[in-house]
Amino acid sequence: MKVDTSGHSAISYVQAWLQRLDDGDYDFREQLSVELSCLTKVLCCFASTVPSAEHARVSVHEGIVELWEKYLVANTSHDLTIEATDGVVTAHAQMLKGASAVISAMLASPMKEGQAQRIQVKDVPKCAVSLFLEILYTCSTQNEPGYKTTLQALDIAHRWQVDVVVTILGDLLQGMITDANFSEIAEQAVLKARA
């Protein structure tokens, strides 16, 4: 059973799958109850990421975004080190503390993170940490990250409870959905909705 992705948004793709399963062409509907439940949960996750009026998008002058980008790459003023699987990335501690209560608590504590101003995320590669920071600082990316890197960046944003970055990365992932990666992205969406 297949559903072509062309012409579909993420939400309409899931709806097309549900419709296909509901058409009655298949006598094994009961056998697919787990799949139907999963698709319904995915649809609910996608629907819940629709921006509310409370967090409406606004237009920002390109010159302001360029200033944010300069701030992002101002390595000499970075005072926080993030250790990833394959190297380190630096950032401004205040930027992360302002965005994340989790990071703020971590860096304010007498634990090693607070004392050394160093955070370990040994399960995530440097490219995902960099994408997370780029979205946090500029609300955009200059690169075209793959869906796996975007999922890993989403994991960091979710773990650190940076909701605005979770929303932006979720929007980015919706545009990356294909037949080949749908199940992986959908599974992550369901897992993040449970947490």
User: Under DSSP, is residue 143 helix (H, G, I), strand (E, B) or coil?
Assistant: coil
Which sign, positive or negative, has the C-alpha torsion 19, 22, 23, 25?
positive
Give the pLDDT confidence of 130-172 residue by residue, as tens digits: 999 999 999 888 889 999 999 999 999 999 999 999 989 988 9
Q: The whole model's pTM is what?
A: 0.72
The alpha carbon torsion through 30, 31, 37, 38 (nearest 10 deg) reads -160
- The whole-number average pLDDT for the span 70-83 is 93
Determine the Cα–Cα distance for residues 186 and 159; give it in Å rounded to an integer.
18
What interhelical angle do 163-174 and 126-138 show, nearest 10? 110
Is the pLDDT at 188 greater than 60? The verdict is yes
Is the pLDDT at 13 greater than 50? The verdict is yes
Give the pLDDT confidence of 105-135 residue by residue, as tens digits: 988 888 777 788 899 998 999 999 999 999 9
User: Under DSSP, is residue 50 helix (H, G, I), strand (E, B) or coil?
Assistant: coil
pLDDT given for residue 53 in this prediction: 47
